[in-house]
Structure 1
Amino acid sequence: MYFDPRSVDVVADQIIGGRRVPGAERREVPSPSDRRIVREISWASPDQVDEAVTTARRVWRDSGWGTTAPRERAALLYRWADLVEAHAEEIARLESLVSARVYPEVMARDAKVVSGVLRYFGEFADKIDGSVTPTTKDSLSFTVHEPHGVVAAIAPWNFPIILAAWKFAPALAAGNAVVLKPSELTPFATARIAELAVEAGLPAGLFNVVHGDGAVGATLVKHPGVDYVTFTGSSATGARIMADAALSGLKPVSLELGGKGPQLVFADAPDLERLAAMVARGITYNAGQVCFAGSRLVIERSIADSFLDKVKGHMAGGQAGETWADGTTVPPIINDSQLDRIDGIVRDAIADGAQAVCGAKRVDREASGFFTPTILRGVTTENRAYREEIFGPVLAVQEFDDVDEGVALADHPDYGLTASVHTADINKAFRAAQAIESGTVWINDWGRRTDFTAPFGGYKRSGLGKDMGRAGYEKYTKTKAIWLELA
């Protein structure tokens, strides 16, 4: 066991003005690994949401953060990154306690991504230039980039600190203040990281954290003091947030939403054994609770039987367990509600004609819940397993005979977050990559690496706007054109 979950101390309050502020009421936060292990979090009242936004606005104005020299902003973010690394073990325990993120991965990946994102966007602070536009010789026209002001950020539960950092790091680097609402299921590590910001020298109150459910999030989005909204989560919730923002001041919004990522596998794909392991990992990683999961296998019929046997073999090697236990590779499903939903979709899919190659079973332990890695074959485009984002370790399989049919199946009518194309034919690969409507297409690969340069965001119901890369910084600024008539 990497740590004793009963010994972990948590930050149970809002972080407003650099202080821990008790909320209006307290709610229980159970661990998905052992629901008998419960911590409490205080939820923000509407008045406390108002306090957080008002504080962010006041500190942003009084500190001059938006006009602070870019290198000074960068230096503070570097110090903050150093503190995140110094407290990585504490942060990893807080993250693994109430999320599905296994402790060694948080140590090796998640905490390092947070510190890396802070440094990466700190470097952007003085790298984005304005431009001088063509005019007559007696005029000067140029553009400058300015921060929006107060950014409302809402982060999900599946990769809590990573996806929170994708928001607060670029927003702060660009000169904004931030009010963040983490998921009520996974609040603790993000709140601790916010405290480290003040320790690093960030003006207290520039980055505030409020806790609560969707009602708290809606109050935050609708607040008249919020200038920009960024959200990661389900497509249905994203639509509501977009509507709330439009009806409360026409605030700009960026949304990173759900996915139904295809693994398009042609018969000439290189190294099928390696590829089978990749496909298995693409749907079992984090128990499938990944927006960019490779949740659909679209495979050339001539190799389907043998390839599925390989994928099934790799799936069988996973070890289900607590996030703090040695050897765990398949973590629990976040809660019973999500487990019920996964189970319901799989049962409906089988009732509608899909065949379970393996898995298709929920496992209810005494104090946790898992879903066995599952392959569903014969999934039609009318099947619920094709139409809906499952967010569990369930691979829906469709087969094709020619290139056009394979590409058409891979291109989902509703979702377009990520896709993978596997073939040794570069012409076929680019043809498919160009045809599939998706924000990211990997060729002979799957999954985001720990680099920060590639923008990430979807097409269609998978969202609008980009996180990470240059685009993930620039969206937190607005462009002003200044025109000068020379005497």
Structure 2
Amino acid sequence: MWIDGGHHTGPIGGRPLISPRDGSVLTTLAAADTRTLDHAVASARAAFERGTWSRATARQRGRVLRLWADLVEAERETLALLISLEMGKPISAALDVETRAAVSSLRWYGEIADKLMDESPRGVDGALALVTREPIGVLGMITPWNMPITLLTWKLAAALAAGNSLVVKPADQSPLSTLFLAELGTRAGLPDSVLQVLVGRGSVVGAAMGRHPDLDGLSFTGSTAVGKGLLSDAGASNAKQLWLELGGKTPVVVLPDADMDAAADAIAWGITFNSGQLCTATSRLIVHESVQEQLTVLVVDRIRAKVIGDPLESSTEIGPLASSTHRSDVLAHIERGLDDGAVLVSGSADPLNGPGWFLEPVVFTHVQPQMALAQDEIFGPVLSILSFRDTEQAIALANDSVYGLGSSVWTRDISQAVKISRCLDAGMVWVNCFEEGDMTVPFGGRKQSGHGADKSIHGLEKFTNLKTTWIQL
């Protein structure tokens, strides 16, 4: 673990960490318990109260974050290797997406840290009113295995720029990259105990974080069911603030006038990137009936052309799923889709032979809106294709989900693009593209996809408390 700047290790539990690329044992993990959590929170609280970080100037905090970004950039190959080994992401994606996102997040919040302004409302007679933002205190962060560094640094960089202390619990499957990131943070000048990293079971440590009375807030990225449980735990303890990024079931609405080749490229990439283990994966293609057959052929051809293989090979585009258990869950969804009457037009309902948790991407047609294929977040390379007759039906199909994270619209008609975008009940809409954006724009969902945006100024503001000071003159 990484506690008190690496000086405190915590209990050793002897649980092996298995690599999904070949089933080999990477290392033996520590196992935090509730006592370890209590120690980490108490140390983070003491660091917050000492003020070496919380009361440091914004310029000082920004300098550390920028140096941290430089260290991540210098060590990007090591960080990418850890990500690829622990969760199976192709090394090219670990380098080009994960490490780049970490550098971008740390550098962006480091650069903006000393450029934010407090407020003093005009027109107040006989008084001076000040509206300031202060760090919340000690925050917990429970992070996922699918994008272990990207999603962590979006939150971590913003929360640290605001002056908070953090206790991070990475996913059981992917702690190594988070531990290495924390070590780099200490090398960059982050004071001991400002960032604590606990390794342990989510059912033990994660649940205890939801109930912990001395955590002032908790960020969670993961399943909707676990997120709902944490809401209950927070309410039953100290009513701490929660920011949740939960599931998704991205609708991709394609009108007949769309650029079919560009749409096919985006859809095929979106359902196979990270082996479909993405909250915004293009899992629901909602296409006009007049071009359904044409687009299906284009998408299938592109998916079949992608290279499945060892994630450590630079040519690999699709790696394994993160665990044997998760692959079994995805296969169960495929079997249910067949039982419900959907037609499998590409891929297989059987796992690929050989070591590792590999699975061929699957495409279904004749999917009905009420089927589990169209409603459940499968979190794997499974594409469901539905058709529509008119725009109103397309919008209804797209919004027929408990989730509301990402969405995409494809059309050359700007009026239609704007109309549909305004009607989609999702936190993000990509028009004639997919997964585009940068650190200046927020990322977040609504409905059962959670709440609380990451990235941009909004991603920092959520980790602060507003204070009004009224000075009578």
Q: Output the TM-score relative to the length of structure 1.
A: 0.94
Which one of 224, 228, 235 corresponds to residue 224 of structure 2?
Answer: 235
Tell which deviates more after alignment, 137-146 or 106-115: 106-115
May I ask how many residue pairs the two structures share in their alignment?
472
Contact 1:28/1:40, CA 8 A, preserved across alignment: yes
**How big is each residue's C-alpha offset from its partner over 1:12-67, in whole Å with a ceiling of 9 and x where there is no partner?**
x3433432504241211100001024321101121111111111111121134222
Q: Does 1:484 align with 2:471?
A: yes
Deviation at 1:484, TM superposition (A): 0.8
Other-structure match for 1:255: 244
Other-structure match for 2:209: 220
Tell which deviates more after alignment, 215-224 or 301-310: 215-224
Tell which deviates more after alignment, 246-255 or 98-107: 98-107
Letter in 2 for 1:43: A
Q: 1:151 to 1:28 in 2, by over 3 A?
A: same
**How big is each residue's C-alpha offset from its partner over 1:50-108, in whole Å with a ceiling of 9 and x where there is no partner?**
11111111112113422211001100111111111111111111111111221122222
Structure 1 stretches of 4+ with a deviation exceeding 6 A read none
Deviation at 1:368, TM superposition (A): 1.1
Deviation at 1:361, TM superposition (A): 2.5
Per the alignment, in what secondary structure is the counterpart of residue 219 of structure 2? strand
Deviation at 1:293, TM superposition (A): 0.6
Which one of 109, 113, 122 corresponds to residue 97 of structure 2?
Answer: 109
**How big is each residue's C-alpha offset from its partner over 1:148-202, in whole Å with a ceiling of 9 and x where there is no partner?**
0101011000010111111211111100001100101010011011011111111
Which one of 332, 337, 352 corresponds to residue 349 of structure 1?
Answer: 337
- The separation in 1 between residues aligned to 2:185 and 2:114, in whole angstroms, is 20
Deviation at 1:448, TM superposition (A): 3.7
- The separation in 1 between residues aligned to 2:238 and 2:88, in whole angstroms, is 36
Contact 1:362/1:369, CA 8 A, preserved across alignment: no
Other-structure match for 2:447: 460
Which one of 279, 287, 303 corresponds to residue 291 of structure 1?
Answer: 279
Q: Does 1:428 align with 2:380?
A: no
Letter in 2 for 1:454: V
- The separation in 2 between residues aligned to 1:202 and 1:38, in whole angstroms, is 28
**How big is each residue's C-alpha offset from its partner over 1:432-452, in whole Å with a ceiling of 9 and x where there is no partner?**
101010000000011144x21
Q: Does 1:81 align with 2:52?
A: no
- The separation in 2 between residues aligned to 1:326 and 1:76, in whole angstroms, is 33
Contact 1:260/1:412, CA 8 A, preserved across alignment: no
Which one of 261, 280, 301 corresponds to residue 313 of structure 1?
Answer: 301
Please list, as runs of the form range in 1=range in 2, the aligned pairs for 1:36-55 lying within 5 A after superposition.
36-55=24-43
Per the alignment, in what secondary structure is the counterpart of residue 65 of structure 1? coil
- The separation in 1 between residues aligned to 2:183 and 2:26, in whole angstroms, is 22
Per the alignment, in what secondary structure is the counterpart of residue 382 of structure 1? coil
Contact 2:52/2:191, CA 8 A, preserved across alignment: no
Contact 2:324/2:357, CA 8 A, preserved across alignment: yes
Letter in 2 for 1:29: L
Contact 1:323/1:331, CA 8 A, preserved across alignment: yes
Stretches of structure 1 lacking an aligned partner (at least 5 in a row): 1-12
Which one of 351, 357, 367 corresponds to residue 355 of structure 2?
Answer: 367
Which one of 46, 58, 69 corresponds to residue 46 of structure 2?
Answer: 58
Q: 1:93 to 1:20 in 2, by over 3 A?
A: farther
- The separation in 2 between residues aligned to 1:350 and 1:324, in whole angstroms, is 33
Q: Does 1:268 align with 2:257?
A: yes
Contact 2:319/2:358, CA 8 A, preserved across alignment: yes
Per the alignment, in what secondary structure is the counterpart of residue 3 of structure 2? strand
Percent of aligned positions that are identical: 35
Deviation at 1:135, TM superposition (A): 5.2
Q: Does 1:129 align with 2:117?
A: yes
Contact 1:36/1:367, CA 8 A, preserved across alignment: no
Which one of 290, 313, 320 corresponds to residue 325 of structure 1?
Answer: 313
Please list, as runs of the form range in 1=range in 2, the aligned pairs for 1:191-210 lying within 5 A after superposition.
191-210=179-198
Deviation at 1:364, TM superposition (A): 4.1
Which one of 132, 135, 147 corresponds to residue 135 of structure 2?
Answer: 147
Q: Does 1:377 align with 2:365?
A: yes
Deviation at 1:206, TM superposition (A): 0.5
- The separation in 1 between residues aligned to 2:7 and 2:75, in whole angstroms, is 19
Per the alignment, in what secondary structure is the counterpart of residue 140 of structure 1? strand
Other-structure match for 1:447: 435
Other-structure match for 2:407: 419
Letter in 1 for 2:186: V
**How big is each residue's C-alpha offset from its partner over 1:321-379, in whole Å with a ceiling of 9 and x where there is no partner?**
12112411111011111111111111111111111111132324332122211111111
**How big is each residue's C-alpha offset from its partner over 1:412-471, in whole Å with a ceiling of 9 and x where there is no partner?**
33011000000011111111101010000000011144x211101111000011111111
Per the alignment, in what secondary structure is the counterpart of residue 380 of structure 1? coil
Letter in 2 for 1:113: A
Please list, as runs of the form range in 1=range in 2, the aligned pairs for 1:171-210 lying within 5 A after superposition.
171-210=159-198
Q: 1:248 to 1:124 in 2, by over 3 A?
A: farther
Q: Does 1:389 align with 2:389?
A: no
- The separation in 1 between residues aligned to 2:46 and 2:328, in whole angstroms, is 44
**How big is each residue's C-alpha offset from its partner over 1:221-273, in whole Å with a ceiling of 9 and x where there is no partner?**
32222111111111111111111111110001100111000110000012x12
Deviation at 1:134, TM superposition (A): 4.4
- The separation in 2 between residues aligned to 1:437 and 1:281, in whole angstroms, is 23
Q: Output the TM-score relative to the length of structure 2.
A: 0.97
Per the alignment, in what secondary structure is the counterpart of residue 401 of structure 2? coil
Stretches of structure 2 lacking an aligned partner (at least 5 in a row): none
Contact 2:5/2:196, CA 8 A, preserved across alignment: yes
- The separation in 2 between residues aligned to 1:26 and 1:476, in whole angstroms, is 35
Which one of 469, 481, 485 corresponds to residue 456 of structure 2?
Answer: 469
